Structure formats: C-alpha cells, structure tokens
Structure 1
Amino acid sequence: MTATIPTLDVQRFTHPRSAADRAAFVAELGACYREWGFAGIRNHGIPQAQIDRAYDVFQRFFALPEAVKRKYHVPGGGGARGYTPFGIETAKGAQYFDLKEFWHVGREIPRDSRYAEVMPANIWPEEIPEFREVAYGLYQALDELGSQVLGALALHIGLPEDWFRDKTDHGNSILRPIHYPPITTPDVPNVRAGAHEDINFITLLVGASAEGLEVLSHQGEWVPFTAAEDTIVVNIGDMLQRLSNHVYPSTTHRVVNPPGDKARQPRYSTPFFLHPNPDFLIRTLPQCVSADNPDRYPTPITGHEYLLERLREIKLV
C-alpha cells in the first residue's frame, strides 16, 4: 500500500486548546518533516475566496496573447520578477526543459533599502489592474503562514519560537503563479516539472487545480500528494536542509504529466518560496550537530550567494 504524507491542523499551534496539545503538534510536525520533508497544513486561515480570486486573476493573465505576456519578461533578470516564458526553466541535471510558464512576485521594499540591489521592484501587468492587489495580498498571507510553520519547526529543534522572524522579515521570497499548458503531443519527453528540490527555507503550495505532484520517499517510491481543497502543502527547501544539517530534509519532488484526456487540460499552481534575508548567513545550527550527525557544511554561505548558485544550475541565470 502506498504511504501517505500527513496533514496537520495548524490551529493546534496558533489557537491551541492546551499547552500539551500545542507541544504535541510541534512534535508531530517535526516528525513529519524529518520523515517526509513535506506536510499538509489545514485550517490555515487563508479564506478560500481569496485563493479562488487569485487563481482567477492568474488564469486571466496566462490567457493573454503571447506577445502581451512577453512585454513583462526581463531579459537577463533571471526570472526574478515578472514573466518567464514557456521552455526556459530546467530542473538541475535534467535533459529537457519543464513544460510551464510562470510569473514572479517579490517582496515590496523601499527602493533605498540595503537589499534593493538584489531585490528588484515588482512588475505588474497593466492589462489586469487588480493583479497587484490580489497577488500581493496572497503573498502576505502565505508569508505569515510560513512564519508560523517556521516557529513550530524552531521549537522542535530547541530554538526560540521567534528565531526565524528577524532572519526572514526581509527575505527575497517569491510568489510564483504557474501555468502548465495542455499537452497535445503524444510521447513528449518533457515533464511538467522535472524531479528537483526547492532552493529556499520552505515552500507553501496553495491550491493545485489538478493532480500531478509526486514526492520521493526514503524507500525510493514516488508518492502522489494531491491535497484537499482546504490544505496548503508545505515542504522543506535546500537552505533549511543545510541550516539544519539535514535534520529537516529537502525532498525530491516532481509534477508528472497526467494520463489520457487529463493531459489535454491545463494545470495551474501557485507556490510561495519563503527565503531568508539576502545577507543571512546559512551556518549549521549547533542544535543539529551531533556525533551521529557531524557538521556537513563547515563553510557558511549567505542566502543570496546560495540563491545565485542554484539559479545558474536551473538555467534561470
């Protein structure tokens, strides 16, 4: 029987009935991430109407003519903001590019911020006036939910609950609406998203309009993870794996092409990639080093340096 990835009720952490139940949630969430690097989070407090409105806006953008969308592509920008056309991003080590196009929304910061040089201003499509309000509203909601999850993960490894707050409050986090177009050619060698690990601290995936996400278990089995409508999928990225010395593993996952007629349906997906502040030094946490788990990363690296290294590998820069 195929294993299943747990889904937990985050209100046991944010609005607990008792201190004991809150502690039990932290233990269960930590154990889930140690095993899977993935978890489902329900009762997250982001209204379904807000999510539905965001998907409506994103689908309307992707339905615009190709020439209009390409106005918002920034050559040489590494896809950091605005539109990235179909056929560019390629999973690390993959032969074929992914079957997707996407848009990037970043954090709104003052242009005199010390981070302005590495965090460009957002671009907004003038054809859809409400895009900015809707997309950035979802960005902020997912940013806060991500902070709550990081708070529980911090407690699980013996850190203060707010340890991550001032390390991520200016993070170069990204909201990425994705469109996977219908697959009309039989035997296409590409997949919608090749097997990969995420770069960042954690990723929050809100609403996938079709199945396709698969997670690689420790036993080498691809486990499908199609979450219920009220569930946000949250997974560990490589930066948190490195910081935690692999206590929290960054798990390989992919988006496969569906069989038969389902392949001829588009798929929409919106992950939020939660990053540390660009100058945060990813240095192995002493709480995660032991005789059984010696420090794998004796040389620290900043969040921005690590990001650039990985963007080159996936052909975005």
Structure 2
Amino acid sequence: MTSIPLIDLHGSIDPHAPLARESAARLHEALSTIGFTYIAGHNVAPASRDAAFAASREFHASPLERKQSVAINGFHRGYMGMATSTIVTSSVAKVTRPNMSESLMLMHELPPDDPGLLAGLPLQGPNQWPGWVPDFKPRVTRYIAEVDALSRYVVQLIAMSLGLPAHALDHHFERPTTFLRLLHYPPQAPQEDEQIGSAPHTDYGVVTLLAQDDAGGLQVRPRGGDWIEAPPIPDTYVLNVGDMLARWTNGRFVSTPHRVINRSGGDRYSLPYFFDPGMDALIECLPTCTDEANPPRHAPVRYGNYLLDRLNRNYDYRRAPSGDAVTA
C-alpha cells in the first residue's frame, strides 16, 4: 500500500448505530493490511483538542527547571527531558541513539482511595500536573475524557469486525492502562541523518490514537514496502495497531513500524493517546482468530508483565545506578 486509508465514523460512537457495521468492516480491512488508518467523523470536539495542544505548547515553553520539577517518576508519570528514551526493544531497527524529543506523560487518573494506588502497585500512582500553567489540568482532563470515549468505541468496532459481540472485549478495559503523551520535537537539521525524532518502532499496546499538528514528519512502513508519509489531515486521528492487538488477533491485525523525522524547519507537537487493557488482563488468542489451520502463535501473557518489561528497557529513568530496574 502506498497510502493510509480514511474511515468516517459519521459522528457516532454507538456500536448499534446503522453505519457501525460498515465502519467495523472498513476498520478490519485497514488494520489487517497496513495496520494504520485515519479516523474522521469522530466525536472529539475541535475546541477540546485545540485546548490540549495549547496546554502542551505552554508547558514545553516553560523554563527547563520548572519542567524538571515534575520529572518522570517510578509510576511513569511526569516530564521526560530531551533524548532520554531509546527504543532498544524495537523489532524493526537496531536503535542506539535516543529519540530527539521531550514529553510530559500522563497516565490513567486514579482517585486517592484507589486500592492499587494505596498498595503502590506498578504504574498505579498520581499524575504530576504542572500547576504553573493556567488551567492546564481542566483543559487536558476534558480532552482525555473525549479521546478515551473514542478509544472505547474503536475497541467495540474491533470486536464487531472479528465476529464478536460489540462489548465482548469491554471487561478488559474496565480499569484500562492509558497514556497521554504531550510530545515536542525540536527542528531537525537536514544534515542530521543519524538523529531522529522517534526511531522506527511498533507500539506496545492495543490501539494508539494520534493527534498531529500541521508540521508532518510521521512515516509508516507497510509490510513489504518502503516508508510512506502519514501527512496531517485536519480534524482526523491516526489510528494504529499495537503489538498486543496483533498478538490478540493471532497476527490478523498488523502492528506496523513507524517513525518521526521532523523536517518542517519548526517545532512539532503531537498528542498520542495509548489505550490499553488493565495490568492484570490476560492476552490470549481470540477464539475467532484461530482454527486448525491457524493455531495460536503466542502463549498467553499478562499485559502488565509485558508492558513493564518494555518500559524498563527503553527509559533511562527506570534504571537505578546499580542497573536494576525500578518496580513501581
């Protein structure tokens, strides 16, 4: 394939709506061939998304010492400075140089009395909000609520596309593991061939919904093909399959390599939202994705174990001076 398809959801996030099955069928085709699609006709308000982008720009324009006051912690929440993540787990490239980006990571928000938070379970901690940025938390929280609803609908369309009831997978996402990463890529000089905004990789989880600004730079490599551009299209999301969804579907859906090279001459901002199962979810081949001729390719895996392994290997902060990984 030489381009990424576009699916119009017709302004609905109801799996029982008249056109939902058509959307599910088109989604199945896109995710089983290229593993990427643009999503139009969604219910995320342009004003909410614009406000989240504005909050991100204001945060990244802050002095470094202020950003470092919310430095990423053992719960994988907070500010990651420039060039502090290296995708050593990439299955598509030997990555030795860190990504040329900085970001603020926000994960699923937990109430103060959450049992996992009180017990200090892995990745179950409070978010770090930059209180000096006016109205940052309400702007970003409103956006998260809207993109989360869209993500849940996408999972229902995926279930339908696989011959399952629309709500068949919902129980895995009752307490989802989510990440909103407010990313900033600085301009990259044309001669910096060895440096890259985001090295070739596949995503860890189930689905990613990416909001891009107008700078461009995202590239996708379909199976058997070369890198193609995924240019920004106004008021759309870029949806892609993660490794867990490929595993869940026994390879029917494709977790496709992608990368970012910021050649725009200016700054690039993006808002990827990663929507994944609960940490205790057992990911094993779905019943409609296997038969005698196509047995399960992977052993069942607990999502939290898989995720922690990748975080511990890819992020500098998760390695103590002794070299041991942190456990939070």
Q: Check whether TM > 0.5.
A: yes
Q: Which residue of 1 aligns with 2:322?
A: none
Distance of 2:14 and 2:307 partners within structure 1 = 34
Seen in structure 2, the aligned counterparts of structure 1 residues 283 and 211 have a Cα distance that, compared at 3 Å, is same
Q: CA deviation at 1:18?
A: 7.3
Q: CA deviation at 1:240?
A: 1.0
Q: Which amino acid aligns with 2:98?
A: F
Matches within 5 A, 1:92-241: 92=88, 93-116=94-117, 117-118=121-122, 119-183=124-188, 186-187=191-192, 189-241=194-246
Identical pairs, percent: 30
Distance of 1:292 and 1:156 partners within structure 2 = 21
Q: CA deviation at 1:184?
A: 5.0
**Matched residues, number:** 308
Distance of 1:208 and 1:34 partners within structure 2 = 27
C-alpha contact (below 8 Å) 1:247/1:288 kept by paired residues: yes
Seen in structure 2, the aligned counterparts of structure 1 residues 129 and 37 have a Cα distance that, compared at 3 Å, is same
Q: Which residue of 2 aligns with 1:66?
A: 64
Q: Does residue 274 of structure 1 match 2:275?
A: yes
Distance of 1:311 and 1:129 partners within structure 2 = 31
Q: Does residue 49 of structure 1 match 2:44?
A: no
Seen in structure 2, the aligned counterparts of structure 1 residues 159 and 12 have a Cα distance that, compared at 3 Å, is farther
**Aligned partner of 1:91 among 72, 87, 90:** 87
Distance of 1:204 and 1:148 partners within structure 2 = 12
Q: CA deviation at 1:13?
A: 6.0
C-alpha contact (below 8 Å) 2:15/2:153 kept by paired residues: no
Q: Which amino acid aligns with 1:212?
A: G
**Aligned partner of 1:37 among 19, 35, 60:** 35
Q: CA deviation at 1:15?
A: 6.3
Q: CA deviation at 1:109?
A: 1.8
C-alpha contact (below 8 Å) 1:13/1:26 kept by paired residues: no
Distance of 2:309 and 2:17 partners within structure 1 = 44
Q: CA deviation at 1:58?
A: 0.7
Q: TM-score, normalised by structure 1?
A: 0.91
Seen in structure 2, the aligned counterparts of structure 1 residues 98 and 220 have a Cα distance that, compared at 3 Å, is same
Matches within 5 A, 1:19-38: 19=18, 21-38=19-36
C-alpha contact (below 8 Å) 2:36/2:239 kept by paired residues: yes
C-alpha contact (below 8 Å) 2:9/2:20 kept by paired residues: no
Structure 2 stretches lacking a partner, 5+ long? 89-93, 319-328
Structure 1 stretches lacking a partner, 5+ long? none
Q: Which residue of 2 aligns with 1:283?
A: 284
Seen in structure 2, the aligned counterparts of structure 1 residues 16 and 175 have a Cα distance that, compared at 3 Å, is closer
Q: TM-score, normalised by structure 2?
A: 0.88
C-alpha contact (below 8 Å) 1:115/1:278 kept by paired residues: no
**Which deviates the most, 227-236 or 109-118?**
109-118
**Which deviates the most, 273-282 or 66-75?**
66-75
Post-superposition CA distance 1:115-170 (Å, at most 9, x none): 32222111111211311111111111111101111111101112110122221121
Q: CA deviation at 1:12?
A: 7.3
Q: CA deviation at 1:44?
A: 0.6
The 3-state SS of whatever aligns with 1:152 is helix
Q: CA deviation at 1:22?
A: 3.2
Cα RMSD, aligned residues only: 2.0
